[in-house]
Structure formats: C-alpha cells, structure tokens
Structure 1
Amino acid sequence: MTIEEIKNLCKKYGVYPSRSKGQNFLLCEEALCEVVEASDIKSKDIVLEIGPGFGVLTKRIAARAAKAVGVELDGKLYAAAKDILKVYKNVEIINYDILKLSEEQLKELTGGSYKITANLPYSITGSFLKKFLTLKYKPDLMALMLQKEVAERICALPGDMSLLSVSAQYYSNPQIVSKVPKECFYPVPEVDSAIVRFEIKKTENDADEKKFFQIARIGFSARRKMLKNNLFNGFKGMGKEIFIAKIEKILQEIGLKNNARAQDLSVEDWKRLAEKIEI
C-alpha cells in the first residue's frame, strides 16, 4: 500500500494518526510478507492481530488462517477495519484494549489455541509481553514488529543480557527475523523496527518461577556491580564475608567466574543459581 492510499483512507474514515498511540502504518510489501511468514500460519490456525488498522496485514492473515481476530483500541480505526474487512467471512474485529482482555475473553475468541501477529505500538511492548508470556492460555507463537533496540535487547546473548531478555527467554525462544527501516511506515517513526518471532516454550519450566525472578531482579538491581555484591545487598541474612564466600562457591559450581555480572548469565545459569541459593 502506498502513502497516498493510506492518506486517502485516513481522510475517508476521519483518522488522524497519533504518535502517542503508536499509530504508524506499515507500507512495505516485503516487510508485510516477512511478518506473515514469521507467523507460520496454517489453515487451521486462529490468529490474534493487535491493532489491525486498515486491515492491510489482516487480509494476508485471513488468506491463510481459519480465523483472524483483530483487536483494535481506536474507535475510528475499528469502524474502518469493520467496513474494509466486511467481505471476509473468517475475520472478526473487536473494539477493545488488548491489555485489558481477560483470559476468559481470550479463550472465547480463540478457543485457547492461537497465534499472535502484530505491528505493536512501542509504548505497550513491555506490558504486552508480560501479559501474554505469563497467561494460562499462552499463544503458540508470536510474530511482532517491535522497536529495533528493544528487539535486540530481547534477543541478547550472555554478556549483554537484561531483565527483559531473561524474562522473554524464560518463556520463549525469541529470534529477530529481519530489521525494518523507519521509512517503511507512515507516519515515519523516529526509530527503526525489527520483526521478532517468539516460539513459546511448550514444557513447564522446572524452576521455581517466583524464586527465579526474585533472584534475577536482585541480580540486575545494580548493573555495573558484580553479581555476588548485588545478591548480598538483596539477601542480608548473614555476614558479608560468609555470604560472599558462599555465593562464590555456588558460582564456581555452576561454571561462572567470581566476578560475573548479571548480564553475563543465560536463563539456564539463572535457573541453576536459583536452585542453589536458599532464600
């Protein structure tokens, strides 16, 4: 779709794209195809699309999936999508805030088995990932257009890890499919984007989830400090020398250096650490 076509649709439906709402419409055909391919849509799939806008991506989803469910917060874009997509019998558009969608509503819309595809507003990325990665009815897969910097943080390797990457990689296997320049959107955003594919882990994590994230949050509390010092400050239950010696022993047992920092640990390292630390 061209910029002129998008502008004409905005005029027709009285839509004024809002930067604060992350309303940047994807134009590039190549990027649209890459999002669809990353979604790995099969003929029996139900696909949840966040922010269908003018239905450019929705049409491609509907051509492959059993059903496409678009969740649109903006009232005018909801009306536009309903009108544009009315000829598609396997498309349902609802006017709702995706972050307020309950598990019961989600199950009613999708049957509990679904995939997610979205050109996600940057402002809700963190809240969105926290919600859908921790649901009882998690998606089978997500293909999301995200801010490039955030995508790179999510997919980071040990040495550059953050609490965000640890959290995302605890529940899924994220991978950057491709990077999308800002010029592929209208209006043009300030930053480039990237398509990230999240393959949701099917098996239950063997770690104590509450304990895992408690220790990880403490570990990342002061990024420049060594992990053992952050852990001491978070668990002041014994003398520093005794505690540090105990932590150093644990770090050695799991194959880490005494001067390791939180960003050096993989998800598996955090799991082993959580198993050995007594809270």
Structure 2
Amino acid sequence: MNDTANPQPVKALLGAGEIRRLAAELDLRPTKTLGQNFVIDGNTIRRIVAAAAINEDETVLEVGPGLGSLTLGLLDAAARVVAVEIDPVLAAKLPQTIAQWRPERTGSCDVVLADAMRITELPAQPTALVANLPYNVAVPVVLHLLERFPSLRHGLVMVQDEVADRLAAPPGSKTYGVPSVKAAWYSQMRKAGVIGMNVFWPAPKIASGLVRFERHDPPATTATRQEVFAVIDAAFAQRRKTLRAALAGWAGGAVLAEQALVRAGVDPSARGEVLDIRAFARIAEAKNPLSA
C-alpha cells in the first residue's frame, strides 16, 4: 500500500500577463502616490503566504490588495480575507477577479474601500495581517493597525528592504530607531527574507523585505503608550545627543531629564539607540516621581 498522500493541485495565481490584462481593462496606470507595485510572480505569492504561517481558520487582513494577486493566495490558505483598498476602481474590480479565479471563495472576502490609516472597524476581527505595503506609509500603517486591532496576533508584511531592516533592528544596531522601538511595544519583529525587484510590475528601484511579527504584551508600566512614544520620539529626534540633552525638552530641562533617567536606572550619558522598549517605558514612568 502506498502511504504517500496525493499532492493537492497547485491553484493558478495571477501572472504578468493576467496583471497587465487587468490593468488594461481598467485603464490603470500604477502611481507612485499610492505605491502601486503589483506582484506578477505566483511563486513569490506562495512564498509570502507560506512565510506568513496562516491557519485555515484565520481571518486575514490585507492592506492594498491592488489587482488581487496576493488576495487569491490568501484565500487559498485562510478562512476569510478582509481586503482594505484605497483605490475605488481596484476595490470594485477585486470581487470580479475573485469570482473568476476562485468562484468557490466569493463569499469569503470582504472588500473595504478605505484608507488603512483611517480605519477604526472592520466587518470581521482579523487574526493576521499579510500585506504588500506602499513604501511611503508602511511603518505608520503597521503601527496603526497593531494599535487599533488587538485581535491581530501575527503577520507578515512586505516593505522596502531598508524599512524591513529598521522594523526588525535590535537595540545598538545601526538601523535601530523609532520604527524599531515602537514596533517592539506591540510585537517581536523578525526579517523573513528579501524579494527582488523583477517580480513586480512596475518594477521598483529597490528590493523589498519581508518582516514577520508575533504580538506580545506591552511592557508592564504605569505610563501610557502615548507617554512612552513621546519619550521615544524625543530620544531619536537628534540621534547624536545624549539622553540627558535629547530629553531636555520633553522633561522641562536637562536637569529634570537627568533626574528622570537616574530614577529609571538609565545612564544619562547614553544615547537612545542602545535602549530597548522596557527602558523607554521606565523613563516615561519616571518623569513623575510619584509614579516611579
């Protein structure tokens, strides 16, 4: 008896020809303003979906589905997809594309016409975020979604490779900065690979990076997220300054900044680039001696 299971047939995904045909039907000319670079390689879509480690019972939030290449791959893996699209032409076309390519899944995708930076509610609570994000808004979109939708437990985003390095950077590294620290408030971010330029249409001038994240609880602190983020912004506003100098404006003077740093157990002569999210939370908490 042969115990080898029959492999499941590989479902077709949109390729370069299909993407260009859809664009021609819509008289679509991809714009840099909306960061429209469409994936035209099925194997890249399969790689992204596999790296996202989606369970078949999950609801996936996709931002910027575009012409639907990634959407189809996500529908093959997840129970439901909520696709948020800012372009009304693309949002209107996506259900038609799903009906043609995945007719059995037409009821499993909610298309939301909206700006991802402004959404506050969705038709279903997403458990995972998987998206090819426009380079110019990738970080604020990720931070907004993690803040607004605590149901997001994990995900994978494709961003500019340099941004991927920043999101996943550890304290003390050259690329560690505001995106790294703020992302660490919500989750553990790890770089999961690099995607070349030739799998997109139009091809971008730089490579893309995959960043995988797993949500964790924020640091235990009496300070609010807004208070902690204010410290982070001040600490990195002038990277070469010591924390005593960089936080002077935030604290109301260099002396008060030093006092808060000492209470938090942080060297006033250190720089923000060496501190992790827990240290920033301690500093925010120590600004008020009564709460330290």
Structure 1 residue 274 corresponds to structure 2 residue 290: no
Match of 1:76 among 85, 89, 92: 89
1:102 is aligned to: 120
Partner of residue 196, structure 1 = 211
Q: What are the ranges of 5 or more consecutive residues in structure 2 without an aligned counterpart?
A: 1-13
1:206 to 202, 207, 220: 220
Deviations 1:183-241 (A, max 9, x none): 2211011221111112122x35312123322222222231111112222343235xx5x
Q: For 2:218 and 2:236, how far apart are their aligned partners in 1?
A: 24
Correspondence 1:65-214 to 2 at 5 A: 65-86=78-99, 87=103, 88-89=105-106, 90-103=108-121, 106=122, 109-110=123-124, 112-135=125-148, 137-160=150-173, 161-201=176-216, 203-207=217-221, 208-209=223-224, 210-214=226-230
Asked whether the equivalents of residues 119 and 146 of structure 1 are also in contact (C-alpha less than 8 Å), the reply is yes
**Retained in 2: the 8 A contact 1:175–1:198?**
yes
Look up the match of 2:75.
62
Inter-partner Cα distance in structure 2 for 1:213 and 1:49: 26
Match of 2:5 in 1: none
Q: Is the 8 A contact 1:159 1:264 kept in 2?
A: yes
Q: Is this contact kept in 1: 2:129–2:154, CA < 8 A?
A: yes
Cα RMSD (Å) of the superposition? 2.3
Instruction: Give the share of equivalent positions with the same residue, in percent.
Output: 27
Instruction: Name the count of aligned residue pairs.
Output: 267
Q: CA deviation at 1:138?
A: 4.2
Counterpart CA distance in 2 for 1:78 and 1:244 is 49
Q: 1:136 to 1:49 in 2, by over 3 A?
A: closer
Query: What is the CA distance between 1:248 and its match in structure 2?
Result: 6.7
SS, match of residue 99 in structure 1 = coil
1:260 to 270, 278, 281: 270
CA shift for structure 1 position 165 = 1.0
With structure 2 as the length reference, what TM-score do the two structures score? 0.82
Q: In the superposition, relative to structure 1, how do residues 177 and 211 fare at CA in structure 2: closer, same or farther (>3 Å)?
A: same
Residue identity opposite 1:266 in structure 2: D
CA contact (8 A) 2:181 2:276 kept: yes
| Distance in 2 of aligned mates of 1:134 and 1:3 | 36
Q: Deviations over 1:128-180 (max 9, x none)?
A: 12311211544122211101111111111112321121101111111111111
Normalised TM-score (structure 1): 0.85
1:218 pairs, out of 220, 230, 234, with: 234
Cα distance in structure 1, aligned partners of 2:22 and 2:258: 65
* Structure 1 residue 28: Cα displacement: 3.1
Report which structure shows greater RCO (CA 8 Å, sep ≥6). 1
Amino acid at match of 1:97: D
The equivalent of 2:243 in structure 1 is 227
CA distance in 1, matches of 2:170, 2:54: 28
Structure 2 residue matching 1:98: 3-state secondary structure:
coil
User: How has the CA–CA distance of structure 1 residues 269 and 26 changed in structure 2, closer, same or farther, with 3 Å as cutoff?
Assistant: same
Q: Which runs of 5+ in 1 are unaligned?
A: none
